[in-house]
A and B are shown apart, each in its own frame.
Chain A
Amino acid sequence: MLIVVLLGLIVSLLLAAFGRHIRPGWWIFLAAAPLALSAWFVGQLPAVAGGETLLENTRWVPSLGLDLSFRLDGLSLLFGLLITVIGTLIFVYASSYLKGHPYIGRFYGYLSLFMASMLGVVLSDNLLLLFVFWELTSLSSFFLIGFNNDQADSRKSALTALCLTGLGGFFLLVGLVLMGRIAGTYSIQELIASAGLIKDHPSYPVIIALIFIGAFTKSAQFPFHFWLPDAMKAPTPVSAYLHSATMVKAGVFLLLRFTPLLGGTPGWSYTLLLVGGFTMMYAGGHALFRTDLKSVLAYSTIAVLGVLTFLIGLGTREALIAACTFVIVHALYKATLFLTTGIIDHETGTRDLTQLSGLRTVLMPVFIAGLLAALSSAGVPLFFGFIGKDLIYEATLHAGEEFRLYLTVAAVFANICLVAAGFMAGIKPFTGRLVPQFKQVHLPEWSMWIPPLVLALLCLVFGLFPGSIGKLIVSPSLAAVSVAGEPVHLKIWHGFNPVLLLSGATLAAGTVLYLLNSASANKMAFVGRFEVVSPQSLFNRGWRQLMRFSSLYTGILHNGFLRSYLVRIIIFAELLLAFELFKAGPLSVDFDSLAPITIYEAMNVLLLVGALFLVVKASSRLTAVVGMSVVGFAICLMFVFYGAPDLAMTQFTIDTLTVVLFAFVLFNLPPFLKFPTRNKAIITRDAVVALVFGGILSMIAIKVLQVPTSKEVSKFYGENAYLLAKGKNVVNVILVDFRGFDTMFEIVVLGIAALGVYSLIKLRLKPSERE
C-alpha cells in the first residue's frame, strides 16, 4: 500500500524535475496513474467485501511512535475508490480545461501531490501519519486555490483556506498526541481496542473538542465554512475534486474513523448534531440565493457536509449506513455538476445564473450529464440519490423518541434546499431560450465532456443496482465504523411507508421551490445585508483588528528608542522578582543580626555614594570620568576589607586602565550637552523604577540572613577536587588548574576585544578609506 500512496508523490516529484519537457498534448496520459490506482482498489473489492482487512506496517520513527502503517478496510476502500476514480476523470478533464496554460505542469504536480496525500489520509493506520497527510492535503489545496495567479482574490482565498485548515490541523495534532499519550500507542487499531480508556479519561472533552475543530475546519462546518465558497477561485476541476468530492470529506472521514473510538457519548453526539444540523440548514438556505453557479454548488456542498456530520452525530446503525452511502451519492452527482459548470464557464465565459439559459441546444451531452446529476441530487427514484435520501429519512425517523420530529424536520428542510440547488446548477443553465450571445458556443473536446457524462451515468447505474453497492462497499464500510452486524441491503423499493412519503414530499417541495425561486441580483443583495454578522466578515474583521493591533503595538513598543526597551526589561524583571519575593512570604528584618559596621567601611561607602552621585548628575566629561574612577577605587577598598588583596590589585590596575581609555575617547567626542531640560515625569519614572529594583534586591539581601548558607557543598567540592585534580592542597589545585585555565580564556577574550577594536576603528586608515 506504501507504493499506492507514494505513486502520486513520485509523479509530482518527476513533474517538478522534468515537467517542462512534456509536450502540450501529452498531459492526458498522466491519468494513467490514478487509473492504475483505481484498478488496484477495484481489485481489492472482493477481498475487503469478504471481511478482510489489509494491513501493512513499515517501521519509520519508532521513537516518536510514528510508523508507516496502512490499513485497507471498507471505509478506506470507499474513499480510495472515490479519490482514484474521480481523480482519473479529473486528470482527463483538466488536460483540455487548462490546455495551453503556461503552468499546467505545476498544476498536475499539485494535483498528484494532493491525490497521494488524500490516499494517505484514508489509508493511514497511525494517528501521526494521518496528520502528516492531512496537512499535505491542505498545502496542495493552497497551491491549487491560488493557481490563477492573475487574481489578487484568489491569493487571498488560498491563504485564508490554508490558515483555517492549517489551524484546524494543528489543533487536531494536539488532540491526536493527547490520545496517543493516554493510550500509549498511535496505532488507530490499537486505540480502538482500548476505546474505553480514552472515553473515561478526564481530558476526553478536550480531545474531542480539538478533533472537532480539526474536522470542522476541513469539512467546512459552521462557523468555519466560509473558506469553501472562497476556495471556488480555484480552477473548476480542482473545485470538483478537492472542494466537493474528496478533500472536504476528510473531516467526515475522520469523524467516521473515530466513531468507534470516541463516539457514542453525549458530548460527541450533541455537538455533531447541532453543528451538522445548523450547517446543513444554514448553507442549504444560502445556496438558493446565489447567482454564481459555483457559489450555489459550494453552499450545497457545505449543506451536504452538514448532513453527513449530522448523521455521524446521530450515530445509529441506520445513520451510519446513510452517511456511508451518501458520501458516494454526493461525490458522484456533485463532481458531475462541477464539471458541467466548468464546461459552461470555459465555453461561455460566465457562471452567472441570471444570464445563462438555453444552452441545451449547443451543449447537448453536457446537458444530459447535468440533468442526470440534478435528478440524482433531487432523489428521483431509480437514481442513486433516491436511495441516499431514503436512508437519511430512515435514520432520522428511527432516532430516539424525543428528538425524532426535530431531526426529521431539519433533514427535510435541508434536503428541499438541496433539491432546488441541484436543479439550479444542473438544469437551469440549459433550459429556456438560447440567448444570442451564446449562439457561437460549441461543444469542447471529448476529454472535457466525457468525464461528467461518465459520472452522471454512474449515478444512474448505481441507482439501478444498489444491492451490489451495498454488499461490496457500504457493508464493509459499516463494519469499519461500528460493530459489525448483518450485511447491508440497499434496495430500490422499500414499499409504501413514511420514508417514501417524505421523499416524495421533499422532491415536490424542492421542485416547487426551484420553479418559484428565480436567480436574481436583488436576492443576492438581500443576503448581502446580513453579511455583516456572518462568520466570514467577523473573521475578516477580527483579522483586520489583529493587523491594526499589530501595527499599533509595534509602533508603540518597537519605536527604536533604546531607553524604552531597557525600561521595559527592567520593569519586567522587577515584576518577576517581586512576585517571587511575595510568594516567599512576609519579611521580618532583624537588625540585631546585622554585623556591626566599622568606621572604615562606613567611610568607604560614603565615598562610593558620593562618587556615584557625581556620575549620575555629571554634566561635564571630566566629572563623569573622575566619579567613575572614584567608584572603582572604592570598590578596590572593599575588596581589601574582604581579604582579597590580589583581587584589589587587579581591580586597581584595570580601573586605571579603563579610566585612561575613557579619558582618551571622551576627549575625542563632543562635550556633554548642557543639562537638557527633561520631563519631570520621566525622571520620576526612571527614579522609581531604579529604586524599586534596588529595594527588591536589598530585601532579598536582608532575607539571606534568615536562611543560613549551606556549607556542605563546599566540603563535598573540596573532596572532589582532591580526587579529580589529584592535588593534596585544594588551594594549590585551584591556583594551578583553575587559574591556568581562566587565564587562557581571559586572554582569548582580550584578544577578541583587541581584534574588535582594531577592526572597528582601524587606527591606520587606508588611503582608500579616508573620507
Chain B
Amino acid sequence: MTSLIIVSVLAVAVLYLGLFKYKTALLPVSVTGLLAAAAMAAMDWDLEKMYFSEMMLFDNYAVAFSILLILTTLLIFGLSRNYFEKISNNVAEYYALMLFALAGGVVMVSFHNLAMLFIGIEILSISLYVLAGIRRKDPASNEASLKYFLMGAFATGFLLFGTALIYGATGSFNLAAIASSGAFESALFRAGVLLMMVGLSFKVSVAPFHTWTPDVYEGSPGLIAMFMATVVKTAGFAAFLRLFLMAFAEASAFWAITVAILCILTLFAGNITAVFQDRFKRLLAWSSVSHAGYLLLAILAVGFSASSAVLVYTIAYSLASVAAFGIMILVSRARGNDHLDSFNGLARTNPFLAFTLTLAVCSLAGIPLTAGFFGKFYVFKVALAQGYTWLVVLAVINAMIGIYYYFKVIIAMYMKENANAVAIQLNPGFRLVLSIVVFLIFLFGIFPGLIANIL
C-alpha cells in the first residue's frame, strides 16, 4: 500500500518539478521514487494486509506483480533520457502520466473489490489515452489516441455493465463475497462474467477484441508502445487472473470453454497476421497479441500454479519486450524507419545490439536458456495439467509460426549485409538497461527457480 501512495505522490511531485522547470531532476527523482516504491512493496511480503474495508488486499500476488510493474517502469525510464525531449517541451507530463498509469496498474493487481478494479483500469486507461496521443503534431499519434480511446471507452462500457450484473446477481462487489455467494447458476451472473471478460479481453488485447493493438502501438511513441506492451499487459493479465481466480474460480466450468475459444482465436489472429508484417513495430504488436493467447492458457488452469505461470511468463515477456522495443527505437531513429530491412547488417555494425535483440526474440519465441522458454514451458505445463492437450498442441503450432517471424529479424541482422550501415550510437542509459535485460534474460533462463518459486 505504501508503494501505491509513493507512486501517486511521486507523480504529483514530478508534475511540480516540471512546473518549476527542474527538468534535470525529473529522471533522478522518478528513479529514486520508484526504487523506494519497489522496496516498500517488498516490505509487504507475507503480510496479507487488507485495506479500506477489504477494498484492496496486498497479498503476495499483489506484491509480486506490483514489484514487477514498478521495476519494468524503471527500466523504461532508464531508456527515456533524451527521448521525450525530442517530442515535446513538457517532459514532466510524460513522467507524471506514466507514473499515474503505473499507480493504476498497482491498483489493478491488488484489488479485492470490483470497484477498485474498475478504478484501477480507468486510471491506467485515461493516462494511456493521453500518452498515445501526446505527439500532437503527428497524425499517426492522434489516430492512435482516437482509436484507443473510442474502443477503450467502449470496452469500459462492457466492463461496467458486467460489473453491474454481477452485483445484481451476488449483491456484492467484494471478491470473497462473490466467490461465496453461490449465485453461479444465475443467468445474470453468467452474463456479467462474460461481459467483464469482454471488457478485460479488450484491455489485454485478446482476439477478437485486439484490433486496436497494432494501430495504437504503431501510432504511439516507441516508449509508450513499450509501456503498453509490458506494464499495461502485465497489469491487465494480473487483474484478469486475479478476478477469475478469487471471484469466479468456482464457476470455472462454464467460463473455461469461452476462455479456451478466446485463446485459440488470439493465438491464430496474432500469429497469422504477424507472419507477413515487414515492419518491426507492427510485428511486435501482433506478436504481443499472440502472447496474450499463451497467457490465457495459464488462466485456464485456475489455481496457484496459474499465478506462478502468469508471473514467470510476464516477467520473461516484459524483459524481452523492453529490449526489442528499445532496439527498435534506436534502429528506427538511426535508419529512418523500423522496416525489417533496416536491421540488415546490424551484427557487423553493432554486435552488442544484435546479440541483445537475438536474445530478446529468442526469449519471445521460447528458445531454451532464455527466460521466455520457461514462460512457455510453464503455461504449457499448467494447461496440460488441466487436460487441455489439444489446446496445447494448437499453441505449439503457433509457437512454430512465431519462430518463423521472430527469426526473420535475426536473419536480417546476421545473414544480410548492408554496406552503408554505420554503427548506432548508444547513450549510457540504453547501454545500462540493455545490459541489465540481457543479464536477467540469461539469469532467469538458466535459473528459472528464482522466479518460478516466488508465488
Contact = CB atoms under 8 A, between A and B. Distances in A.
Task: Report whether chain A binds chain B.
Answer: yes
Contacts of B20: none
A580 B54 contact: no
Nearest to B387: A203
B208 interface: yes
A572 B177 contact: no
Interface string B409-423: 001001111000000
Interface string A244-266: 00000000000000000000000
Contact of A700 (B119, B188, B214, B273): B188
A135 B52 contact: no
B224 interface: no
Contact of B181 (A133, A546, A710): A710
Nearest to B161: A697
Contact of B392 (A131, A150, A174, A748): A174
B6 interface: no
A454 interface: no
Interface string A520-563: 00000000000000000000000000110111011001101010
B403 A62 contact: no
B369 interface: yes
Nearest to A715: B171
A565 interface: yes
Nearest to B146: A562
A717 interface: yes
Contacts of A550: 272-273, 275-276
A581 B414 contact: no
A167 B400 contact: yes
Contacts of A713: 170-172, 177, 180-181
A752 B100 contact: yes
B403 A558 contact: no
A664 interface: no
B8 interface: yes
A704 B186 contact: yes
Interface string A717-732: 1001100110000000
Contacts of A177: 377, 380-381, 384
B158 A573 contact: yes
Nearest to A572: B208
B190 A580 contact: yes
Interface in B417-451: 417, 447-449
B272 A549 contact: yes
A714 B396 contact: no
Contacts of B123: 745, 748-749, 752
A760 B136 contact: yes
A766 B89 CA distance: 10
Contacts of B129: 756
Contact of A64 (B130, B188, B258, B377): B377
B139 interface: no
Interface stretch (A31-39, A136-144, A590-598): A136-144
B64 to A, nearest CB: 15
Nearest to A733: B53
B41 to A, nearest CB: 18
B380 A174 contact: yes
Contacts of A200: none
A566 interface: yes
A155 interface: yes
A7 to B, nearest CB: 16
Interface stretch (A47-55, A335-343, A493-501, A736-744): A736-744
B202 A136 contact: no
Contacts of B115: 742
A762 B254 CA distance: 49
Contacts of B55: 738, 741
A717 B380 contact: no
B172 A717 contact: yes
B214 A558 contact: yes
A562 B447 CA distance: 45
A753 interface: yes
Contacts of A755: 15, 93, 96-97, 100, 130
Nearest to A703: B187
B122 A749 contact: yes
Interface stretch (B27-35, B147-155, B315-323, B326-334): B147-155
A170 B170 CA distance: 43
A178 B208 CA distance: 30
B355 interface: yes
B2 interface: no
Contact of B453 (A63, A128, A173): A63
B177 A716 contact: yes
Contacts of A133: 368
A62 B155 CA distance: 42
Contacts of B122: 749
Interface in B117-161: 119, 122-123, 126-127, 129-130, 133-134, 136, 146-147, 150-151, 154-155, 158
Nearest to A771: B137
Contacts of A668: none
A101 to B, nearest CB: 14
A759 B52 contact: no
Contact of B272 (A546, A572, A717): A546
Contact of A171 (B96, B158, B188, B396): B396
B191 A760 contact: no
B237 interface: no
Nearest to B51: A741
Given A573-B158, A753-B126, A709 B171 contact: yes
Interface string B190-203: 11001101100010
Interface in A140-179: 142-143, 146-147, 149-150, 154-155, 158-159, 162-163, 166-167, 170-171, 173-174, 177-178
A724 B377 CA distance: 41
A580 B147 CA distance: 30
B71 interface: no
A607 interface: no
A704 B165 CA distance: 10
A131 B396 CA distance: 14
A701 B188 CA distance: 7
A600 interface: no
Contacts of B93: 755, 758-759
A174 B384 contact: yes
A171 B154 CA distance: 40
Nearest to B392: A174
A613 to B, nearest CB: 20
Interface in B161-177: 165, 168-172, 174, 177
B415 A149 contact: yes
A177 B275 CA distance: 28
B182 interface: yes
A569 interface: yes
CB-CB nearest 7 A-B residue pairs: A756-B130, A167-B400, A132-B368, A565-B211, A170-B396, A149-B415, A61-B449
30 contacts: A62-B449, A136-B368, A155-B411, A155-B415, A166-B399, A167-B399, A170-B396, A177-B384, A553-B273, A560-B215, A562-B146, A562-B151, A569-B155, A569-B202, A696-B191, A704-B187, A707-B188, A712-B181, A713-B180, A717-B177, A745-B123, A748-B100, A748-B103, A752-B130, A755-B15, A756-B126, A759-B90, A760-B130, A760-B133, A768-B89
Given A565-B211, A713-B180, A755-B97, 20 more contacts: A135-B373, A146-B411, A167-B397, A174-B392, A554-B272, A565-B151, A569-B155, A576-B194, A580-B190, A584-B190, A696-B191, A701-B188, A707-B186, A713-B172, A714-B172, A717-B172, A733-B53, A748-B8, A762-B136, A768-B89
Interface of B: 8, 12, 15, 50, 52-55, 89-90, 93, 96-97, 100, 103, 107, 115, 119, 122-123, 126-127, 129-130, 133-134, 136, 146-147, 150-151, 154-155, 158, 165, 168-172, 174, 177, 180-183, 185-188, 190-191, 194-195, 197-198, 202, 208-209, 211-212, 214-215, 254, 258, 272-273, 275-276, 355, 362, 366-369, 373-374, 377-378, 380-381, 384-385, 389, 392-393, 396-397, 399-400, 403-404, 407-408, 411, 414-417, 447-449, 452-453
